[in-house]
């Protein structure tokens, strides 16, 4: 199994700053990562684009028909996803620090993926005939923000094995350049669909949430230390 994470927006409060901060995670079974990458390469050839064309939501606004086969490929290979968003328009300016943005969003992703990880660990153990740690890889689109990567590490490394209380479900997260990795491009495409949905256009979110692939999309519209309130989750 493998998890791919992308961010959108920003954590700053200066005039002109982004109006939201979001994290999204896409998950595929490990055995399907190779077929997904090969499928994206074949899709590039079919579309007649460069062999290294980077699939990004922002790059396909003028060619939305390219999104459909990309999403269908991922869905056919077991895509699961989750996301967390802060709506900064409804939060008192300056009341949430970058650390809190990162930590809360990362914990939300990890919490929503935990059941998927435990099921995958149980299936791997059954296949091996003995208790086996999952050691889930976590790849994060490289935005050069080491503080965000550390928050993701803290959240995901807190997930304990289902059969070994001392075991951890994931390995240490690492940055990966989306230009060179189709799976991180998948995280961007999922983030784009979720972000558009939260901004009022559910066209692509409706495509990827079918078949129970949506593990949970959380929007935080208020944050009041020490508690986070006004939380809702989409279906």
**pLDDT for residue 42 is more than 50:** yes
Mean pLDDT of 105-128: 96
**pLDDT for residue 225 is more than 80:** no
**pLDDT for residue 50 is more than 80:** yes
Q: What is the 3-state secondary structure (H, E, C) of the chain?
A: CEEEEEEEECCCCCCCCCCEEEEEEEEECHHHHHHHHHHHHHHHHHHCCCCCCCCCHHHHCCCHHHHHHHHHHHHHCCCEEEEEEEEHHHCCCCCCCHHHHHHHHHHHHHHHHHHHHHHHHHHHHHHHCCCCCCCECEEEECCCCHHHHHHHHHHHCCCECCCCCCCECECCCEEECHHHCHHHHHHHHHHHHHHHHHCCCCHHHHHHCHHHCEEEEEEEEEEECCEEEEEEECC
Q: Which pLDDT score, from 0 to 100, does residue 212 have?
A: 61
- Asked if 134 contacts 167 with a C-beta cutoff of 8 angstroms, the reply is no
- The pLDDT tens digits of the residues spanning 181-194 come to 999 999 999 999 99
Q: Which pLDDT score, from 0 to 100, does residue 210 have?
A: 79
pTM of the complete model? 0.92
Q: Which pLDDT score, from 0 to 100, does residue 95 have?
A: 93
Domain ranges of the chain: 2-108+178-233
175 vs 221 pLDDT, higher one: 175
Percent residues over pLDDT 70 in the chain:
93
**pLDDT for residue 37 is more than 90:** yes
C-alpha to C-alpha distance for 160 and 166, rounded to whole angstroms: 7
**pLDDT for residue 235 is more than 90:** no
Q: Which pLDDT score, from 0 to 100, does residue 70 have?
A: 97
Mean pLDDT of the chain: 92
**pLDDT for residue 131 is more than 50:** yes
């Amino acid at each position: 199994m493998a998890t791919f994470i992308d961010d959108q927006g920003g954590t700053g409060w200066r005039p002109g700053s982004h109006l939201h901060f979001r994290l999204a995670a896409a998950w595929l079974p490990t055995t399907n990562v190779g077929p997904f990458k090969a499928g994206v390469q074949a899709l590039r050839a079919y579309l007649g684009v460069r062999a290294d064309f980077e699939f990004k939501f922002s790059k396909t606004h003028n060619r939305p028909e390219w999104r459909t086969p990309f999403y269908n490929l991922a869905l056919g290979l077991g895509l699961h996803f989750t996301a967390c968003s802060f709506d900064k328009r409804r939060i008192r300016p300056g009341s949430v620090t970058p650390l809190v943005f990162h930590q809360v969003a990362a914990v939300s992703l990890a919490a929503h993926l935990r059941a998927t990880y435990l099921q995958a660990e149980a299936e791997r153990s059954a296949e091996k005939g003995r208790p086996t740690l999952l050691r889930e890889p976590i790849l994060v689109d490289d935005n050069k923000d080491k503080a965000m990567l550390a928050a993701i590490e803290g959240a995901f490394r807190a997930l304990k094995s289902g059969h070994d209380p001392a075991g951890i479900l994931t390995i240490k997260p690492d940055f990966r350049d989306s230009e060179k990795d189709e799976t991180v491009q998948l995280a961007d495409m999922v983030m784009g669909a979720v972000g558009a949905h939260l901004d009022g256009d559910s066209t692509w979110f409706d495509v990827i949430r079918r078949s129970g692939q949506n593990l949970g999309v959380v929007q935080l519209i208020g944050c009041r230390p020490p508690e986070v309130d006004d939380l809702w989750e989409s279906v």
